Structure 1
């Protein structure tokens, strides 16, 4: 597998991956986190243009996508009912999804992101048991609760090298 930055030529594939992810989430007791429209096409385009959208390929076929950025995330400035593992510079992963064809793809993407920065933070919805399992399986520590800019609560995780 290979990770590369997304391009505008990938947009239709990314939209399809996210559509499938929303259906999967809804069928696995998590219909609220991404609803029926998140992430919107404009957000995905913005991610691509900013250089923070990535795809994972297997023999040139896109099998996963995610947002990665090494920068402070304002949603992580305050944490409740816990603490971050450290206050060192970190990277963030958001909007990760795969097509499910190759076992371990999401883990591969998370490991790639961690290697880029050595200190990775991520959050997920309380109902997203699939993502919670993935994070625990990959050695992420539960750190507490964060609130997104829209006020919704998320479970916060962190892993360091």
Structure 2
């Protein structure tokens, strides 16, 4: 089950992000989130604005992500080209506790069910996330730059109206 995060979820969410930072460092990607991203105040803001979502299995939060249906400022300039200019869900800060396989895929598909178009970026060294995006039919569209000037690989996926991940229609 995926639901909006509530303030009482904060300890679990921060724990999952710490697990994800350790995993990324061990997987050869120590620079994307370093030791401080996402900071607690950003997570609290995501929760307040309704952007933060959690993936719950058997009563335990297994994953977290931020999703917002808006024009992401980081996605305004791309070296390459987005698939189209339709409204889209921007997905950020995807992380898993690591106990259950497929959590990141389920989070992405949940967003696709709601909006039909999802954009996401990842660090060039984040090979595990690139594999998740490739496996889930995302197209590498080019490179975008974060506010701090660091490059990210930009992906997008489109699905037809009414598409559902469990319907077998792809």
TM bucket by the smaller chain?
Answer: over 0.9
- 1:78-117 equivalences under 5 Å are 78-80=77-79, 82-117=80-115
Q: Find the counterpart in structure 2 of residue 51 from structure 1.
A: 50
Q: Deviations over 1:25-68 (max 9, x none)?
A: 00000000000110000000000001100000012211000000
In structure 1, the partner of 2:63 is 64
Q: TM-score, normalised by structure 1?
A: 0.97
Partner of residue 29, structure 2: 30
CA distance in 2, matches of 1:134, 1:85: 19
Post-superposition Cα deviations, 1:90-128, rounded to whole Å, max 9, x if no partner, equal: 011100011111111110110001111100000000000
**Structure 1: distance between partners of 2:75 and 2:114:** 19
Corresponding position of 1:134: 132
Secondary structure of 1:69's match? strand
Whole-angstrom distance in 1 between the partners of 2:59 and 2:23: 24
What is the CA–CA distance in structure 2 between the aligned matches of 1:102 and 1:15, rounded to whole Å? 18
SS at match of 2:149: coil
Q: How many residues in Structure 1 have an aligned counterpart in Structure 2?
A: 159
Residue number in structure 1 paired with 2:39: 40
Structure 2: stretches of 5+ with no match in the other structure: 160-170
SS of 2:100's equivalent in the other structure is: coil
Q: Name the CA distance, whole Å, in 1 between partners of 2:21 and 2:102.
A: 19
4+ long deviations beyond 4 Å: none
Match of 1:123, SS state, is strand
User: 1:150 deviation in Å?
Assistant: 1.2
Cα deviation, residue 69, structure 1 = 0.4
What is the CA RMSD across the aligned residues, in angstroms? 0.6
